[in-house]
Structure 1
Amino acid sequence: MITIQEALDLVLSQKQSYGIEEIPLTEAVGRFLAEDIFTDRDAPPFDRVMMDGIAIHLADLQDSLKPNYPIQGIQAAGSPQMNLIDTSHCLEVMTGAILPINTNTIIPYEEIEIKGGKAHLNIEKVAKRFIHYQGSDSKKGEKVLGKGKQINTGDIGILATVGQAKVKVAKLPKAAIISTGDELVDVDQSPLPHQIRKSNVYSLWASLHQDGIQAEMHHILDDKEALREKLSSLVKDFDILLLSGGVSKGKFDHIPEILEELGVQKLFHRIAQRPGKPFWFGHHEEFNTKIFAYPGNPVSTYVNHLFYFKQWLHASLRIGWRFETKELGEGIPGNPNLARFISVNLDHENGKAFPINHNGSGDLFSLAHTDGFLLLPQREGDYSKGERFPFIAVR
């Protein structure tokens, strides 16, 4: 067995750039920017009215307001800029409109009454307010989004504002997710007493989907010839294969043998960790395919994917990635032979991580109550309360 760090180094040694592509803005959420984004003009591009009401010219903050202001006209949003000709008058203004020339203060409708063509004020003094000044958010030419950022829903609005109808993003690998085993049935089927529904492939699909990867799902029965035939095709057709199950020491765990028969170079099999010890990782040089073959227990699959694959993907996309650390909320015994990913809940007041009880790596339902995993290194002594360790969040 190798250590977690040795395994991670081998995984990252296979990082792979897949190039850049330009996609429509409507398809960009979740993708990783391949360019810096700059504002094409000031934001906002003009002094913008922030409240519905009237615009007046206030010469001095200490000036008393007039009891009423005759209304010269209405400055609507989207209309060309108007000019307040007489500073003893006012203009009605709508939220989002350009601030009229010769005005510097907005008084909301809530503080006035309009009658007889005049705005009657129910306040005596007012500050210069409710104006969103030009360039106060961002100046023209300022970088607002950086290369490598994963585009979220808020970023979509920014990209639209700066005119990015198309966005350059990192091209993603073509992925296939493969489950194996005679005991698995589709999610819409009723299992027999000795069967279970597929779950790992859906967790993996959802995780890839979060990163913009649209993966295909496949299932292969525990038959060596069927495994060999199907995997031979998939290795040629995809950039990455994610397998769940068939890599332990059981008599029907044929995956490692078949992958090597197909010319896949094994980089490691078995890591000194719990859960997920039987993880198998390899590379097919001719087709440049990376194979992540996870053990079948759901928590083992899940934590290996979050820790190893996520770091590989970010390295491949040339995006920095570092897990935050959390403080252990209580002491627990050490383990000199195995590093451990322990399921934890976070105290939402102080952020400390507390281990939770569950039924091992086969307990899928424990994930419903898990905020994430602390990575505890191999150690002779105990892990002490208050120590900080890498935290892998459940996403």
Structure 2
Amino acid sequence: MITVQQADECLFNSAPTWGTEVVHLAQALGRILREEVQADRDFPPFARVSMDGIAIAYAEWADGRRTFAVAGQLPAGAPPQPLGGPGACWEVATGGVLPPGADTVVPYEQVTIANGQATVLAKDVRRGQNVHDQGKDRRAGEVLLAPGTVLGPAQMALLATVGHSRVCVTRRPSAAILATGDELVRVEETPLPWQIRLSNPWAIEALLAPWTSEAVRLHSADDFSALRAELLPALREHPLIIITGGVSAGKRDAVPDVLREGGAEVLFHKVSQRPGKPFLFARTSQGGVVFALPGNPVSAFMCAVRYVLPWVRRASGAVEALPQWAVLAEPLVFKPDLTWFVPVSVENRQGTLWAHPLPGHGSGDLANLHDANAFLEMPRGRDAFDVGEVFRLWPYP
């Protein structure tokens, strides 16, 4: 049995790269960028008007001129027009080009216009007001997006504005999610009193959805031949396999043996933690990986949040997420010499996260996962944890 820290080290050193693919911008949302994106021109690409009004030369106003001849109107999208001779101005619109020769925009609220003449009423006019200078935001060639960026709405807007219609992103792997257990029935079925409906695959598929191309849900009875029939093809066909159940010390827990039969190398089995002690990690002969998690719902979900998701992010080339921490809101006692991942409900008190423990009724208390929204990692080597202490937080995504 290894420690949580040793499991992290093994996982960190076992993250493959899944390659890249080029997709259209319309399919890029949520993907991991694998190229550097630069500004194709200055941002903004011209001196841009930032308020409706009249464009003037500030020096003329500073010299005492208050009335200007209106040369015309320049709506947004119109090509630039020179300011013209002394005493001229243009009516301009937000987002439009500032006429060459002008350097200041006086808003309509501070102007009267009659008979082709605009009179400035403002007592205070500043050079360059209401003008967004060319290149003020970014210069042509500056890096806008770095590899590893998760493409959200803001990043999609940047890609569009630089004309990046084809985007190089991480190729998403397919995943197989295999639940084992004689007691399990499909969600559409009515279980007998000694049976339960499958829930682990649905939770894990939801967790993996942003990171995988597809997830195939499989089920096997607690039988060596049945497990072989489901697991061995999955090892050949999918680079990412998640198994729930069949990894403890029971007589019918055959997952480790079938993995080895299929050519997989078990890198670790059993971690000194609760829940999730039987957690197993293996590498397939095809270069894929297997996360074999305990079958109890809380154990499986905790291992998926704590280990599987960070690993998948790393393998996808995403920028590492910053660690989160929370203050313990209630005292806790835990006697076993194990790292304890306790479900908690997190609240934000004036910018500080406080974690309220919700231990529930064991690793089968699936309903307690709904009441909580994170796991708090309580280190091994001690049995009492005091209010006000700070511990690592693993929030649900």
Whether the 8 Å CA contact 1:280–1:294 is kept in 2: the answer is yes
Aligned residue type for 1:125: D
The one-character-per-residue Cα deviations of 1:152-179 (angstroms, maximum 9, x if unpaired) are 2211111222222212223333322222
After TM superposition, the structure 1 stretch with the greater mean CA deviation from structure 2, 245-254 or 101-110, is 245-254
2:12 is the alignment partner of 1:23:
no
In structure 1, the partner of 2:292 is 293
Q: Does the 8 Å contact 2:329/2:357 carry over to 1?
A: no
CA contact under 8 A between 1:57 and 1:103: conserved in structure 2? yes
Distance 1:37 1:385 in 2: 46
What displacement does 1:192 show? 5.1
Partner amino acid, structure 2, of 1:356:
P
Check whether the contact 1:334–1:379 (CA below 8 A) recurs between aligned residues. Answer: no
Q: Partner residue of 1:344? A: 344
**1:232 counterpart SS class:** helix
Alpha-carbon spacing, 1:194–1:113, altered in 2? closer, same or farther (3 Å): farther
Task: Identify if the C-alpha distance between structure 1 residues 112 and 298 changes in structure 2 by more than 3 Å, giving closer, same or farther.
Answer: farther
Partner SS state of residue 73, structure 1: strand
TM-score w.r.t. the length of structure 1 is 0.88
1:119-138 equivalent positions in 2, closer than 5 A: 119=118, 121=120, 123-127=122-126, 128-138=128-138
Is the partner of 1:215 in helix, strand or coil? strand
1:1-395 equivalences in 2 (<5 Å): 1-59=1-59, 66=66, 69-119=68-118, 121=120, 123-127=122-126, 128-188=128-188, 191=191, 193-211=193-211, 213-250=213-250, 252-285=252-285, 287-319=286-318, 321=320, 322-348=322-348, 349-357=350-358, 358-395=360-397
- Given residue 375 of structure 2, which amino acid in structure 1 is its aligned partner? F
**Cα drift, residue 248 of structure 1:** 2.8
Q: 1:282 to 1:64 in 2, by over 3 A?
A: same
CA contact (8 A) 1:264 1:283 kept: yes
**Structure 2 unmatched ranges of 5 or more:** none
Given that 2:178 and 2:201 are in contact with CA atoms closer than 8 Å, whether structure 1 keeps it comes out as yes
The secondary structure found in structure 2 opposite 1:46 is: coil
Which shows bigger deviation, 304-313 or 176-185?
Answer: 176-185
Q: Offset of 1:258 from its aligned partner?
A: 2.4
Kindly tell me: are residues 369 and 64 of structure 1, through their superposed partners in 2, closer, same or farther at Cα, counting changes over 3 Å? farther
Cα distance in 2, alignment partners of residues 61 and 191 from structure 1? 84
Q: Secondary structure at the match of 2:22?
A: strand
Q: Following the alignment from structure 2 to structure 1, what is the Cα–Cα distance between the partners of residues 54 and 189?
A: 64
Say if 1:56 and 1:371 are closer, same or farther in 2 by CA, change over 3 A: farther
Assess, with a 3 A threshold, how the Cα gap between structure 1 residues 220 and 110 changes in structure 2: closer, same or farther: farther
How far did residue 47 of structure 1 move?
Answer: 1.0
When the two structures are superposed, what TM-score results if normalisation uses the length of structure 2?
A: 0.88
Shift of residue 122 of structure 1? 5.1
After TM superposition, the structure 1 stretch with the greater mean CA deviation from structure 2, 234-243 or 44-53, is: 44-53
Q: Matched residue of 2:384: which SS?
A: coil
CA distance in 1, matches of 2:351, 2:362: 27
Give the superposition deviation at 1:229: 1.0
Counterparts of 1:199 and 1:234 in 2: how far apart (Å)?
A: 20
Question: Matched residues in 2 for 1:329 and 1:219: separation?
Answer: 40
1:178/1:218 contact within 8 Å kept: yes
Instruction: Give distance in 1, aligned partners of 2:371 and 2:51.
Output: 45
- Percentage of pairs with the same residue: 36
Between the two proteins, the alignment pairs up a number of residues equal to 393
**Rounded Cα–Cα distance in structure 1 between residues aligned with 2:288 and 2:12:** 14
Q: 1:100 to 1:199 in 2, by over 3 A?
A: farther
Q: Structure 1 residues 351 and 189 mapped into 2: Cα distance closer, same or farther (>3 Å)?
A: farther
- CA gap 1:336/1:223 in 2 versus in 1, 3 angstroms: closer
Mapped contact 1:208–1:214 kept (Cα < 8 A): no
CA distance 1:108–1:368, change in 2 (3 Å): farther
1:116 CA displacement: 3.9
Q: 1:189 to 1:51 in 2, by over 3 A?
A: farther
**Secondary structure of 1:17's match?**
coil
SS at match of 1:341: strand
SS in 2 for 1:72: strand
Matched AA of 1:387: E
Q: Secondary structure at the match of 2:23?
A: strand
Residues 201, 115 of structure 1: alpha-carbon distance in 2 compared, 3 angstrom cutoff: farther
Please say if residues 175 and 216 of structure 2, whose CA atoms lie closer than 8 Å, have aligned partners that are also in contact.
yes
Contact 1:176 1:218 in 2 (8 A): yes
C-alpha deviation, 1:120, in angstroms: 5.1
1:29-68 C-alpha deviation (Å, 9 max, x unpaired): 22222222221211111111122332222227866672x5
In structure 1, distance between residues paired with 2:176 and 2:374? 26
